[in-house]
Protein backbone atom coordinates (compact mmCIF):
# COMPACT_ATOMS: atom_id res chain seq x y z
CA UNK A 1 0.00 0.00 0.00
CA UNK A 2 1.12 3.55 -0.82
CA UNK A 3 2.66 5.27 2.23
CA UNK A 4 2.28 9.01 2.75
CA UNK A 5 4.77 10.79 5.02
CA UNK A 6 5.29 14.52 5.52
CA UNK A 7 6.66 17.40 3.44
CA UNK A 8 9.49 18.90 5.46
CA UNK A 9 12.33 21.21 4.38
CA UNK A 10 11.48 20.92 0.69
CA UNK A 11 11.06 17.16 0.36
CA UNK A 12 8.76 14.25 1.12
CA UNK A 13 10.01 12.43 4.21
CA UNK A 14 8.86 9.30 6.02
CA UNK A 15 7.24 9.53 9.45
CA UNK A 16 9.23 8.57 12.51
CA UNK A 17 6.55 8.26 15.21
CA UNK A 18 5.60 4.71 14.22
CA UNK A 19 1.91 5.67 14.22
CA UNK A 20 -0.21 5.42 11.05
CA UNK A 21 -3.81 5.86 9.89
CA UNK A 22 -5.51 4.42 6.81
CA UNK A 23 -6.69 6.70 4.02
CA UNK A 24 -9.79 5.38 2.23
CA UNK A 25 -11.44 5.67 -1.14
CA UNK A 26 -14.94 6.43 0.23
CA UNK A 27 -16.62 5.08 -2.91
CA UNK A 28 -15.19 1.58 -2.52
CA UNK A 29 -14.65 1.62 1.23
CA UNK A 30 -11.12 0.29 0.63
CA UNK A 31 -7.96 1.65 2.27
CA UNK A 32 -5.70 3.10 -0.43
CA UNK A 33 -2.78 4.48 1.58
CA UNK A 34 -1.15 4.45 4.97
CA UNK A 35 -0.61 7.92 6.41
CA UNK A 36 2.20 8.66 8.88
CA UNK A 37 0.91 10.47 11.97
CA UNK A 38 3.38 13.01 13.29
CA UNK A 39 4.43 13.52 16.87
CA UNK A 40 6.61 16.20 18.44
CA UNK A 41 9.80 15.11 16.63
CA UNK A 42 8.46 15.59 13.12
CA UNK A 43 6.93 18.93 14.08
CA UNK A 44 10.26 20.03 15.57
CA UNK A 45 12.05 19.23 12.29
CA UNK A 46 9.54 21.39 10.45
CA UNK A 47 9.93 24.26 12.94
CA UNK A 48 13.73 24.06 12.63
CA UNK A 49 13.50 24.31 8.83
CA UNK A 50 10.96 27.15 9.11
CA UNK A 51 13.15 29.11 11.52
CA UNK A 52 16.14 28.76 9.18
CA UNK A 53 14.25 29.88 6.07
CA UNK A 54 11.78 32.51 7.25
CA UNK A 55 13.97 35.63 7.79
CA UNK A 56 15.33 35.49 4.23
CA UNK A 57 11.84 34.93 2.81
CA UNK A 58 10.46 37.87 4.81
CA UNK A 59 13.31 40.03 3.47
CA UNK A 60 12.55 39.01 -0.13
CA UNK A 61 10.76 41.97 -1.66
CA UNK A 62 6.98 41.53 -1.93
CA UNK A 63 6.93 41.61 -5.75
CA UNK A 64 9.23 38.60 -5.84
CA UNK A 65 7.09 36.80 -3.28
CA UNK A 66 4.05 37.57 -5.44
CA UNK A 67 5.73 36.08 -8.50
CA UNK A 68 5.84 32.68 -6.79
CA UNK A 69 2.04 32.84 -6.64
CA UNK A 70 1.80 33.89 -10.30
CA UNK A 71 3.69 30.72 -11.25
CA UNK A 72 1.77 28.62 -8.71
CA UNK A 73 -1.58 29.68 -10.20
CA UNK A 74 -0.30 28.62 -13.64
CA UNK A 75 0.78 25.26 -12.22
CA UNK A 76 -2.58 24.73 -10.52
CA UNK A 77 -4.36 25.33 -13.82
CA UNK A 78 -1.96 23.01 -15.66
CA UNK A 79 -2.48 20.22 -13.09
CA UNK A 80 -6.21 20.82 -12.52
CA UNK A 81 -7.51 17.47 -13.78
CA UNK A 82 -4.85 15.41 -11.96
CA UNK A 83 -5.40 17.31 -8.70
CA UNK A 84 -9.19 17.07 -8.95
CA UNK A 85 -9.09 13.30 -9.51
CA UNK A 86 -6.67 12.82 -6.63
CA UNK A 87 -8.90 14.94 -4.40
CA UNK A 88 -12.03 13.00 -5.38
CA UNK A 89 -10.35 9.64 -4.84
CA UNK A 90 -9.83 10.45 -1.14
CA UNK A 91 -12.81 12.74 -0.48
CA UNK A 92 -15.48 11.12 -2.66
CA UNK A 93 -16.93 14.32 -4.18
CA UNK A 94 -17.43 14.50 -7.95
CA UNK A 95 -14.46 15.58 -10.07
CA UNK A 96 -16.26 18.77 -11.16
CA UNK A 97 -16.93 19.62 -7.51
CA UNK A 98 -13.25 18.97 -6.70
CA UNK A 99 -12.30 21.46 -9.40
CA UNK A 100 -14.49 23.99 -7.60
CA UNK A 101 -12.63 23.18 -4.37
CA UNK A 102 -9.28 23.86 -6.09
CA UNK A 103 -10.44 26.97 -7.95
CA UNK A 104 -11.81 28.59 -4.79
CA UNK A 105 -8.31 28.18 -3.27
CA UNK A 106 -6.60 29.30 -6.48
CA UNK A 107 -8.61 32.53 -6.28
CA UNK A 108 -7.06 33.29 -2.89
CA UNK A 109 -3.63 32.78 -4.49
CA UNK A 110 -4.66 35.28 -7.20
CA UNK A 111 -5.72 37.72 -4.47
CA UNK A 112 -2.32 37.57 -2.74
CA UNK A 113 -0.51 38.35 -5.99
CA UNK A 114 -1.47 41.86 -4.91
CA UNK A 115 0.63 41.50 -1.73
CA UNK A 116 2.93 44.48 -2.51
CA UNK A 117 -0.17 46.66 -2.39
CA UNK A 118 -1.98 44.72 0.36
CA UNK A 119 0.93 45.05 2.79
CA UNK A 120 1.50 48.75 2.31
CA UNK A 121 1.42 50.56 5.62
CA UNK A 122 0.21 54.00 6.69
CA UNK A 123 2.11 57.27 6.85
CA UNK A 124 1.43 60.59 8.50
CA UNK A 125 3.68 63.43 7.47
CA UNK A 126 4.15 66.12 10.13
CA UNK A 127 2.55 64.38 13.11
CA UNK A 128 4.50 66.98 15.14
CA UNK A 129 7.20 69.51 14.22
CA UNK A 130 9.62 67.58 12.03
CA UNK A 131 7.98 64.34 13.12
CA UNK A 132 6.62 61.64 10.83
CA UNK A 133 4.72 58.60 11.96
CA UNK A 134 4.33 55.41 9.99
CA UNK A 135 2.94 51.93 10.47
CA UNK A 136 4.38 48.88 8.79
CA UNK A 137 3.14 45.31 8.67
CA UNK A 138 5.63 42.57 9.43
CA UNK A 139 5.05 38.81 9.27
CA UNK A 140 4.28 36.96 12.50
CA UNK A 141 7.15 34.50 11.86
CA UNK A 142 6.07 30.86 11.93
CA UNK A 143 2.37 30.12 11.55
CA UNK A 144 0.38 26.89 11.42
CA UNK A 145 -2.91 25.83 9.86
CA UNK A 146 -5.13 22.89 10.83
CA UNK A 147 -7.71 21.99 8.20
CA UNK A 148 -10.84 19.81 7.83
CA UNK A 149 -11.51 17.00 5.37
CA UNK A 150 -14.26 18.68 3.37
CA UNK A 151 -12.18 21.17 1.33
CA UNK A 152 -8.66 19.69 1.21
CA UNK A 153 -7.49 22.16 -1.46
CA UNK A 154 -9.44 25.37 -0.79
CA UNK A 155 -9.01 25.67 2.98
CA UNK A 156 -5.24 25.00 3.05
CA UNK A 157 -4.93 27.71 0.35
CA UNK A 158 -7.17 30.11 2.35
CA UNK A 159 -4.45 29.91 4.98
CA UNK A 160 -1.09 29.38 3.34
CA UNK A 161 -1.57 31.87 0.49
CA UNK A 162 -1.83 34.99 2.70
CA UNK A 163 0.52 33.57 5.37
CA UNK A 164 3.32 32.86 2.89
CA UNK A 165 2.72 35.98 0.77
CA UNK A 166 3.07 38.09 3.94
CA UNK A 167 6.53 36.59 4.54
CA UNK A 168 5.75 33.90 7.13
CA UNK A 169 6.82 30.28 7.17
CA UNK A 170 3.71 28.11 7.34
CA UNK A 171 3.21 24.57 8.63
CA UNK A 172 0.04 22.84 7.45
CA UNK A 173 -1.56 20.00 9.41
CA UNK A 174 -4.21 18.81 6.95
CA UNK A 175 -7.07 16.43 7.63
CA UNK A 176 -5.85 12.86 8.01
CA UNK A 177 -8.74 11.73 5.75
CA UNK A 178 -7.50 13.31 2.51
CA UNK A 179 -3.86 14.42 2.78
CA UNK A 180 -2.64 13.80 -0.79
CA UNK A 181 -3.71 17.08 -2.39
CA UNK A 182 -2.18 19.20 0.41
CA UNK A 183 1.11 17.33 -0.17
CA UNK A 184 0.91 18.05 -3.91
CA UNK A 185 0.18 21.72 -3.24
CA UNK A 186 3.38 22.00 -1.21
CA UNK A 187 5.35 20.34 -4.04
CA UNK A 188 3.85 22.66 -6.62
CA UNK A 189 4.70 25.72 -4.49
CA UNK A 190 8.34 24.57 -4.54
CA UNK A 191 8.13 24.11 -8.31
CA UNK A 192 6.78 27.67 -8.49
CA UNK A 193 9.96 28.93 -6.81
CA UNK A 194 9.20 28.94 -3.08
CA UNK A 195 12.32 28.33 -0.97
CA UNK A 196 12.31 25.15 1.12
CA UNK A 197 11.09 25.41 4.70
CA UNK A 198 8.48 28.10 3.94
CA UNK A 199 5.52 25.79 3.24
CA UNK A 200 5.61 22.41 4.96
CA UNK A 201 3.06 19.68 5.60
CA UNK A 202 3.06 17.73 8.85
CA UNK A 203 0.43 15.01 8.71
CA UNK A 204 -1.29 13.69 11.78
CA UNK A 205 -4.16 13.67 14.21
CA UNK A 206 -4.71 15.06 17.72
CA UNK A 207 -1.06 14.41 18.71
CA UNK A 208 0.22 16.61 15.89
CA UNK A 209 -2.31 19.33 16.77
CA UNK A 210 -1.25 19.20 20.44
CA UNK A 211 2.38 19.54 19.37
CA UNK A 212 1.47 22.61 17.27
CA UNK A 213 -0.51 24.15 20.15
CA UNK A 214 2.32 23.64 22.61
CA UNK A 215 5.20 24.75 20.38
CA UNK A 216 6.57 28.07 21.67
CA UNK A 217 7.92 29.17 18.28
CA UNK A 218 4.59 28.94 16.45
CA UNK A 219 3.08 32.41 16.79
CA UNK A 220 -0.23 32.14 14.92
CA UNK A 221 -2.72 29.33 14.40
CA UNK A 222 -5.55 29.17 11.91
CA UNK A 223 -8.07 26.35 12.31
CA UNK A 224 -11.15 25.16 10.40
CA UNK A 225 -13.16 22.12 11.50
CA UNK A 226 -15.92 21.14 13.90
CA UNK A 227 -17.02 23.48 16.71
CA UNK A 228 -15.80 21.45 19.74
CA UNK A 229 -12.28 21.27 18.27
CA UNK A 230 -12.40 24.90 17.11
CA UNK A 231 -13.27 26.00 20.66
CA UNK A 232 -10.52 23.79 22.09
CA UNK A 233 -7.84 25.01 19.66
CA UNK A 234 -8.80 28.66 20.25
CA UNK A 235 -8.62 28.28 24.05
CA UNK A 236 -5.33 26.34 24.01
CA UNK A 237 -3.64 28.65 21.51
CA UNK A 238 -4.68 31.95 23.09
CA UNK A 239 -3.90 30.85 26.63
CA UNK A 240 -0.31 30.42 25.43
CA UNK A 241 -0.32 33.92 23.96
CA UNK A 242 -0.62 32.79 20.36
CA UNK A 243 -2.69 34.61 17.81
CA UNK A 244 -5.61 32.38 16.74
CA UNK A 245 -8.78 32.38 14.72
CA UNK A 246 -10.75 29.16 14.52
CA UNK A 247 -13.83 28.29 12.49
CA UNK A 248 -16.42 25.68 13.41
CA UNK A 249 -19.61 23.97 12.37
CA UNK A 250 -22.81 25.31 10.89
CA UNK A 251 -26.53 24.90 10.48
CA UNK A 252 -27.45 27.15 7.60
CA UNK A 253 -31.07 28.16 7.07
CA UNK A 254 -32.83 29.33 3.93
CA UNK A 255 -35.93 31.47 4.50
CA UNK A 256 -38.45 31.21 1.66
CA UNK A 257 -40.92 34.12 1.69
CA UNK A 258 -44.41 33.72 0.17
CA UNK A 259 -43.45 36.00 -2.75
CA UNK A 260 -40.27 34.03 -3.62
CA UNK A 261 -39.74 32.40 -6.98
CA UNK A 262 -40.42 28.88 -5.69
CA UNK A 263 -38.84 27.05 -8.63
CA UNK A 264 -35.66 29.06 -8.17
CA UNK A 265 -35.73 28.42 -4.41
CA UNK A 266 -36.34 24.67 -4.84
CA UNK A 267 -33.47 24.31 -7.33
CA UNK A 268 -31.20 26.29 -5.01
CA UNK A 269 -32.13 24.05 -2.08
CA UNK A 270 -31.27 20.91 -4.03
CA UNK A 271 -27.80 22.15 -4.97
CA UNK A 272 -27.04 23.73 -1.61
CA UNK A 273 -28.55 20.93 0.47
CA UNK A 274 -27.28 17.84 -1.32
CA UNK A 275 -24.21 19.01 -3.30
CA UNK A 276 -21.03 17.36 -2.01
CA UNK A 277 -23.33 15.00 -0.02
CA UNK A 278 -24.18 17.92 2.28
CA UNK A 279 -20.60 18.00 3.57
CA UNK A 280 -20.09 21.74 3.15
CA UNK A 281 -19.92 24.21 6.00
CA UNK A 282 -22.06 26.50 3.82
CA UNK A 283 -24.57 23.76 2.87
CA UNK A 284 -28.20 24.67 3.48
CA UNK A 285 -29.56 22.10 5.91
CA UNK A 286 -32.77 23.86 7.00
CA UNK A 287 -35.45 25.26 4.69
CA UNK A 288 -37.89 27.67 6.36
CA UNK A 289 -40.92 28.34 4.17
CA UNK A 290 -43.10 31.17 5.51
CA UNK A 291 -46.81 30.32 5.66
CA UNK A 292 -48.55 26.96 5.16
CA UNK A 293 -49.29 27.56 1.46
CA UNK A 294 -45.62 28.32 0.72
CA UNK A 295 -44.55 25.25 2.72
CA UNK A 296 -46.97 22.88 0.96
CA UNK A 297 -46.00 24.15 -2.49
CA UNK A 298 -42.27 24.05 -1.72
CA UNK A 299 -42.34 20.51 -0.32
CA UNK A 300 -44.31 19.31 -3.37
CA UNK A 301 -41.63 20.79 -5.63
CA UNK A 302 -38.77 19.36 -3.56
CA UNK A 303 -39.94 15.74 -3.29
CA UNK A 304 -39.49 14.73 -6.98
CA UNK A 305 -36.22 16.65 -7.22
CA UNK A 306 -34.78 14.91 -4.15
CA UNK A 307 -35.98 11.53 -5.41
CA UNK A 308 -34.29 12.16 -8.76
CA UNK A 309 -30.85 12.92 -7.30
CA UNK A 310 -28.18 10.69 -8.82
CA UNK A 311 -25.65 9.31 -6.38
CA UNK A 312 -22.44 7.72 -7.62
CA UNK A 313 -18.69 7.28 -7.32
CA UNK A 314 -16.50 10.19 -8.44
CA UNK A 315 -15.69 8.30 -11.63
CA UNK A 316 -19.37 8.63 -12.71
CA UNK A 317 -19.54 11.98 -14.49
CA UNK A 318 -23.34 11.99 -14.25
CA UNK A 319 -23.45 11.78 -10.45
CA UNK A 320 -24.89 14.70 -8.46
CA UNK A 321 -23.01 13.70 -5.35
CA UNK A 322 -20.79 10.93 -4.03
CA UNK A 323 -20.25 9.04 -0.79
CA UNK A 324 -19.61 10.66 2.59
CA UNK A 325 -16.11 10.65 4.04
CA UNK A 326 -16.01 7.66 6.41
CA UNK A 327 -18.03 4.70 7.60
CA UNK A 328 -18.38 6.44 10.99
CA UNK A 329 -19.81 9.48 9.27
CA UNK A 330 -22.25 7.33 7.25
CA UNK A 331 -23.42 5.66 10.46
CA UNK A 332 -23.75 8.98 12.29
CA UNK A 333 -25.90 10.48 9.52
CA UNK A 334 -28.16 7.43 9.29
CA UNK A 335 -28.42 7.41 13.10
CA UNK A 336 -29.59 11.03 13.08
CA UNK A 337 -32.20 10.21 10.41
CA UNK A 338 -33.53 7.48 12.74
CA UNK A 339 -33.58 10.03 15.57
CA UNK A 340 -35.59 12.42 13.41
CA UNK A 341 -38.18 9.74 12.66
CA UNK A 342 -38.39 8.88 16.38
CA UNK A 343 -38.77 12.55 17.27
CA UNK A 344 -41.83 12.77 15.03
CA UNK A 345 -40.50 14.63 11.98
CA UNK A 346 -42.06 13.47 8.69
CA UNK A 347 -39.51 11.71 6.46
CA UNK A 348 -41.07 12.53 3.07
CA UNK A 349 -38.10 11.19 1.07
CA UNK A 350 -36.47 8.21 2.75
CA UNK A 351 -32.95 7.38 1.57
CA UNK A 352 -32.14 4.99 4.41
CA UNK A 353 -32.20 1.85 2.28
CA UNK A 354 -30.04 3.23 -0.52
CA UNK A 355 -27.37 0.79 -1.74
CA UNK A 356 -24.91 1.67 -4.50
CA UNK A 357 -24.78 -1.29 -6.86
CA UNK A 358 -21.20 -2.48 -7.37
CA UNK A 359 -20.03 -0.30 -4.45
CA UNK A 360 -21.70 -2.04 -1.54
CA UNK A 361 -18.82 -1.26 0.83
CA UNK A 362 -18.75 2.44 -0.12
CA UNK A 363 -19.88 5.10 2.34
CA UNK A 364 -22.97 6.19 0.41
CA UNK A 365 -26.02 7.79 2.00
CA UNK A 366 -29.34 8.12 0.15
CA UNK A 367 -31.01 11.53 -0.05
CA UNK A 368 -33.42 12.29 2.80
CA UNK A 369 -36.00 15.07 3.14
CA UNK A 370 -37.76 15.82 6.42
CA UNK A 371 -40.89 17.94 6.75
CA UNK A 372 -42.47 19.27 9.97
CA UNK A 373 -39.17 19.52 11.82
CA UNK A 374 -39.37 21.64 14.99
CA UNK A 375 -36.61 23.57 16.82
CA UNK A 376 -36.66 21.27 19.86
CA UNK A 377 -35.64 18.23 17.76
CA UNK A 378 -32.09 16.87 17.76
CA UNK A 379 -32.05 16.81 13.92
CA UNK A 380 -32.65 20.58 14.00
CA UNK A 381 -30.03 21.35 16.61
CA UNK A 382 -27.21 19.08 15.36
CA UNK A 383 -25.02 19.62 12.33
CA UNK A 384 -25.84 16.46 10.35
CA UNK A 385 -23.21 17.06 7.62
CA UNK A 386 -24.91 14.68 5.20
CA UNK A 387 -27.50 14.66 2.38
CA UNK A 388 -30.42 15.43 4.69
CA UNK A 389 -32.58 18.56 4.38
CA UNK A 390 -35.06 19.59 7.09
CA UNK A 391 -38.13 21.73 6.46
CA UNK A 392 -39.17 23.86 9.46
CA UNK A 393 -42.49 25.63 8.81
CA UNK A 394 -42.76 29.22 10.08
CA UNK A 395 -46.06 31.05 10.38
CA UNK A 396 -44.66 34.47 9.54
CA UNK A 397 -41.48 36.42 8.79
CA UNK A 398 -40.65 37.17 12.45
CA UNK A 399 -40.85 33.50 13.38
CA UNK A 400 -38.65 32.61 10.39
CA UNK A 401 -36.09 35.26 11.39
CA UNK A 402 -36.04 33.98 14.98
CA UNK A 403 -34.83 30.51 13.89
CA UNK A 404 -31.33 31.34 12.59
CA UNK A 405 -31.20 34.11 15.21
CA UNK A 406 -31.56 31.64 18.07
CA UNK A 407 -29.55 28.75 16.63
CA UNK A 408 -26.15 28.23 18.26
CA UNK A 409 -24.39 28.37 14.86
CA UNK A 410 -24.09 31.50 12.75
CA UNK A 411 -22.14 30.67 9.60
CA UNK A 412 -24.38 31.36 6.58
CA UNK A 413 -28.05 32.05 5.88
CA UNK A 414 -30.16 32.85 2.83
CA UNK A 415 -33.47 34.54 2.12
CA UNK A 416 -35.52 34.03 -1.04
CA UNK A 417 -37.93 36.87 -1.76
CA UNK A 418 -38.89 39.47 -4.37
CA UNK A 419 -39.28 42.09 -1.64
CA UNK A 420 -36.23 44.32 -1.24
CA UNK A 421 -37.47 45.70 2.05
CA UNK A 422 -37.80 42.22 3.61
CA UNK A 423 -34.37 41.22 2.30
CA UNK A 424 -32.80 44.40 3.63
CA UNK A 425 -34.41 44.03 7.06
CA UNK A 426 -33.29 40.40 7.19
CA UNK A 427 -29.67 41.13 6.24
CA UNK A 428 -29.52 43.87 8.84
CA UNK A 429 -31.06 41.99 11.76
CA UNK A 430 -29.96 38.35 11.46
CA UNK A 431 -26.86 37.60 13.61
CA UNK A 432 -25.06 35.50 11.00
CA UNK A 433 -21.71 36.08 9.30
CA UNK A 434 -22.58 35.48 5.63
CA UNK A 435 -25.94 36.34 4.07
CA UNK A 436 -27.36 35.32 0.69
CA UNK A 437 -30.23 37.22 -0.92
CA UNK A 438 -31.66 34.89 -3.55
CA UNK A 439 -28.22 33.23 -3.42
CA UNK A 440 -28.12 29.88 -1.64
CA UNK A 441 -24.45 29.51 -0.67
CA UNK A 442 -23.15 33.03 -0.04
CA UNK A 443 -19.47 32.10 0.17
CA UNK A 444 -17.58 35.38 -0.22
CA UNK A 445 -14.98 35.67 -2.96
CA UNK A 446 -11.26 35.77 -2.18
CA UNK A 447 -11.01 39.57 -1.94
CA UNK A 448 -13.76 39.73 0.70
CA UNK A 449 -13.41 37.68 3.83
CA UNK A 450 -15.06 34.49 5.07
CA UNK A 451 -16.30 33.88 8.59
CA UNK A 452 -19.34 33.04 10.66
CA UNK A 453 -20.68 34.36 13.95
CA UNK A 454 -21.64 32.73 17.25
CA UNK A 455 -20.26 29.19 17.67
CA UNK A 456 -19.24 28.99 14.01
CA UNK A 457 -16.16 31.12 14.65
CA UNK A 458 -13.79 32.05 17.48
CA UNK A 459 -11.43 35.01 17.27
CA UNK A 460 -11.89 38.27 15.47
CA UNK A 461 -10.36 38.15 12.00
CA UNK A 462 -11.84 36.18 9.11
CA UNK A 463 -10.25 33.96 6.47
CA UNK A 464 -8.85 35.49 3.24
CA UNK A 465 -9.56 39.01 2.02
CA UNK A 466 -8.15 42.04 3.89
CA UNK A 467 -8.65 40.35 7.29
CA UNK A 468 -6.14 37.64 6.39
CA UNK A 469 -3.39 40.18 5.76
CA UNK A 470 -4.02 41.58 9.23
CA UNK A 471 -4.07 38.11 10.77
CA UNK A 472 -0.74 37.04 9.27
CA UNK A 473 1.11 40.28 10.07
CA UNK A 474 1.84 42.40 13.10
CA UNK A 475 1.65 46.16 13.05
CA UNK A 476 4.72 48.16 13.99
CA UNK A 477 4.38 51.94 14.34
CA UNK A 478 7.42 54.16 14.04
CA UNK A 479 7.60 57.79 15.22
CA UNK A 480 10.63 59.47 13.65
CA UNK A 481 12.35 62.81 13.86
CA UNK A 482 15.56 63.76 12.13
CA UNK A 483 17.95 66.37 13.59
CA UNK A 484 18.18 69.42 11.37
CA UNK A 485 21.86 70.14 12.04
CA UNK A 486 23.12 70.12 8.48
CA UNK A 487 20.21 72.15 7.15
CA UNK A 488 19.93 74.92 9.80
CA UNK A 489 23.02 74.78 11.99
CA UNK A 490 23.39 73.92 15.66
CA UNK A 491 20.42 74.18 18.02
CA UNK A 492 21.02 74.89 21.73
CA UNK A 493 17.60 75.15 23.23
CA UNK A 494 15.50 72.10 24.14
CA UNK A 495 13.16 71.21 21.26
CA UNK A 496 9.58 70.78 22.54
CA UNK A 497 6.43 69.65 20.83
CA UNK A 498 3.45 72.01 20.92
P1 LIG B 1 -12.74 17.91 12.66
O2 LIG B 1 -12.98 18.93 13.72
O3 LIG B 1 -12.98 16.48 13.00
O4 LIG B 1 -11.22 18.00 12.17
C5 LIG B 1 -10.62 19.22 11.79
C6 LIG B 1 -9.13 19.15 12.10
O7 LIG B 1 -8.95 19.00 13.50
C8 LIG B 1 -8.44 17.98 11.44
O9 LIG B 1 -7.20 18.40 10.93
C10 LIG B 1 -8.28 16.98 12.57
O11 LIG B 1 -7.14 16.16 12.42
C12 LIG B 1 -8.15 17.86 13.78
N13 LIG B 1 -8.69 17.22 15.00
C14 LIG B 1 -9.70 16.32 15.08
N15 LIG B 1 -9.91 15.96 16.35
C16 LIG B 1 -9.03 16.66 17.11
C17 LIG B 1 -8.77 16.74 18.51
N18 LIG B 1 -9.46 16.02 19.40
N19 LIG B 1 -7.79 17.58 18.93
C20 LIG B 1 -7.09 18.31 18.06
N21 LIG B 1 -7.30 18.26 16.71
C22 LIG B 1 -8.25 17.46 16.25
O23 LIG B 1 -13.60 18.37 11.38
P24 LIG B 1 -13.82 17.58 10.02
O25 LIG B 1 -14.74 16.42 10.26
O26 LIG B 1 -12.53 17.32 9.33
O27 LIG B 1 -14.57 18.70 9.17
C28 LIG B 1 -15.95 18.91 9.22
C29 LIG B 1 -16.31 20.06 10.14
O30 LIG B 1 -15.63 21.25 9.72
C31 LIG B 1 -17.78 20.42 10.10
O32 LIG B 1 -18.22 20.70 11.40
C33 LIG B 1 -17.83 21.67 9.22
O34 LIG B 1 -18.93 22.52 9.44
C35 LIG B 1 -16.56 22.33 9.62
N36 LIG B 1 -16.14 23.29 8.62
C37 LIG B 1 -16.25 24.61 8.93
C38 LIG B 1 -15.88 25.56 8.00
C39 LIG B 1 -15.97 27.03 8.32
O40 LIG B 1 -15.40 27.82 7.62
N41 LIG B 1 -16.66 27.42 9.37
C42 LIG B 1 -15.39 25.17 6.75
C43 LIG B 1 -15.28 23.80 6.48
C44 LIG B 1 -15.65 22.87 7.42
Q: Which of 6, 204, 229 to mutate to test the pocket of ligand 1 (most atoms within 8 A of CB)?
A: 229
Q: Which of 226, 276, 442 to mutate to test the pocket of ligand 1 (most atoms within 8 A of CB)?
A: 226
For ligand 1, atom 10, name the residue with the nearest CA. 175
Q: How far is the CA of 236 from the centre of ligand 1 (A)?
A: 16
**Cα–Cα distances in Å, from 144 out to 173, 191, 347, 442, 467?**
7, 21, 43, 27, 17
Write down the pLDDT at residue 488. Answer: 64
Q: Which atom of ligand 1 is nearest to the CA of 325?
A: 25
For 88-102, what is the mean pLDDT?
A: 97
Q: Which atom of ligand 1 is nearest to the CA of 205?
A: 11
* Domain boundaries defined on the chain: 2-248+456-479, 252-437
Q: How far is the CA of 107 from the centre of ligand 1 (A)?
A: 23
Q: How far is the CA of 344 from the centre of ligand 1 (A)?
A: 30
Check: CB of residue 346 under 8 Å from CB of residue 124. Answer: no
Write down the pLDDT at residue 330. Answer: 98
DSSP letters for 310-348: PB--TT-TT-SB---S-HHHHHHHHHHHHHHHHHT-EEE
Q: Which atom of ligand 1 is nearest to the CA of 229?
A: 2
Write down the pLDDT at residue 489. Answer: 61
Q: Which atom of ligand 1 is nearest to the CA of 176?
A: 11
Band of pLDDT at residue 493, cut at 50, 70 and 90 = confident
Write down the pLDDT at residue 204. Answer: 98
Average pLDDT, the chain: 96
Q: In what order do the strands lie in the sheet with 30-36?
A: 2-4, 30-36, 20-25
Looking at the predicted structure, is the pLDDT value of residue 178 above 70? yes
For 420-437, what is the mean pLDDT?
A: 98
Looking at the predicted structure, is the pLDDT value of residue 379 above 90? yes
Write down the pLDDT at residue 487. Answer: 63
The tens digit of pLDDT for each residue in 35-54 reads: 999 999 999 999 999 999 99
Q: Which residues contact 435 (CB under 8 A, 6 or more apart)?
A: 412, 413, 414, 415, 426, 427, 442
- Name the DSSP letter for residue 194: P
Catalytic residue among 109, 166, 281, 368: 281
Q: How far apart are CA 191 and CA 478, in angstroms?
A: 37
3-state secondary structure of 207: helix
Write down the pLDDT at residue 270. Answer: 98
| Pairing between β-strand 169-173 and β-strand 142-146 as defined by DSSP bridges | parallel
User: Cβ of 3: how many Cβ atoms within 10 Å?
Assistant: 11
The tens digit of pLDDT for each residue in 457-479 reads: 999 999 999 999 999 999 999 99
Write down the pLDDT at residue 441. Answer: 86
Q: How far apart are CA 182 and CA 189, in angstroms?
A: 11
Closest by Cα among 241, 189, 204 to 220: 241
Q: Which of 157, 172, 207, 225 to mutate to test the pocket of ligand 1 (most atoms within 8 A of CB)?
A: 225
Check: CB of residue 272 under 8 Å from CB of residue 97. Answer: no
Q: How far is the CA of 224 from the centre of ligand 1 (A)?
A: 6
Q: Which atom of ligand 1 is nearest to the CA of 225?
A: 30
Of the two residues 1 and 202, the one the predictor is more confident about is: 202
Looking at the predicted structure, is the pLDDT value of residue 496 above 90? no
Q: Report the CATH superfamily, name and number, of domain 252-437.
A: Aldehyde Dehydrogenase; Chain A, domain 2 (3.40.309.10)
For 49-75, what is the mean pLDDT?
A: 98
Q: Which atom of ligand 1 is nearest to the CA of 177?
A: 26
DSSP letters for 208-255: HHHHHHH-TT--EEEEES-HHHHHHHHHHHHHTT-EEEEE----EEEE
Looking at the predicted structure, is the pLDDT value of residue 486 above 80? no
For 19-35, what is the mean pLDDT?
A: 98
Pocket of ligand 1 (CB under 6 A): 146-151, 173, 175-176, 205-206, 209, 224-226, 229, 247-250, 281, 383, 385, 411, 452, 456
- pTM for this predicted structure: 0.96
For 114-132, what is the mean pLDDT?
A: 96
Q: How far is the CA of 229 from the centre of ligand 1 (A)?
A: 7
Residue 281 designated active-site: yes
Q: How far is the CA of 291 from the centre of ligand 1 (A)?
A: 36
For ligand 1, atom 17, name the residue with the nearest CA. 206
User: Cβ of 427: how many Cβ atoms within 10 Å?
Assistant: 14
Q: Longest Cα pair distance anywhere in the chain, in angstroms? A: 93
Q: How far is the CA of 226 from the centre of ligand 1 (A)?
A: 4
Check: CB of residue 184 under 8 Å from CB of residue 208. Answer: no
Looking at the predicted structure, is the pLDDT value of residue 407 above 70? yes
The tens digit of pLDDT for each residue in 225-283 reads: 999 999 999 999 999 999 999 999 999 999 999 999 999 999 999 999 999 999 999 99
Q: Report the CATH superfamily, name and number, of domain 2-248+456-479.
A: Aldehyde Dehydrogenase; Chain A, domain 1 (3.40.605.10)
For 118-145, what is the mean pLDDT?
A: 96
Measured between its terminal Cα atoms, the distance across the chain in Å is 75
For 388-397, what is the mean pLDDT?
A: 98
The tens digit of pLDDT for each residue in 312-361 reads: 999 999 999 999 999 999 999 999 999 999 999 999 999 999 999 999 99
The tens digit of pLDDT for each residue in 9-25 reads: 999 999 999 999 999 99
Write down the pLDDT at residue 444. Answer: 97
Write down the pLDDT at residue 497. Answer: 59
Amino acid sequence: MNEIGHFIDGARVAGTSGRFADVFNPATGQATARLALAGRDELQRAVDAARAAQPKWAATNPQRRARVFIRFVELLNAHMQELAELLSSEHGKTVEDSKGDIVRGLEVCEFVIGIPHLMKGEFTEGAGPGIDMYSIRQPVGIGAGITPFNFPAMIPMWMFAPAVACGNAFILKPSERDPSVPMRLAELMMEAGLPKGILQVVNGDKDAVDAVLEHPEIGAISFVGSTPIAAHVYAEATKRGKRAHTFGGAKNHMIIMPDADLDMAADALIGAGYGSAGERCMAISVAVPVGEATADALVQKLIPKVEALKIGPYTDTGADYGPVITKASQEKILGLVETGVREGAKLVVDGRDFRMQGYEDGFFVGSCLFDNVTPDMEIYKAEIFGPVLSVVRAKDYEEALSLPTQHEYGNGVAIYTRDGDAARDFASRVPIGMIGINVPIPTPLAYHSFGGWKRSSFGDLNQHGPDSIKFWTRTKTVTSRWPSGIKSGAEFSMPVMR
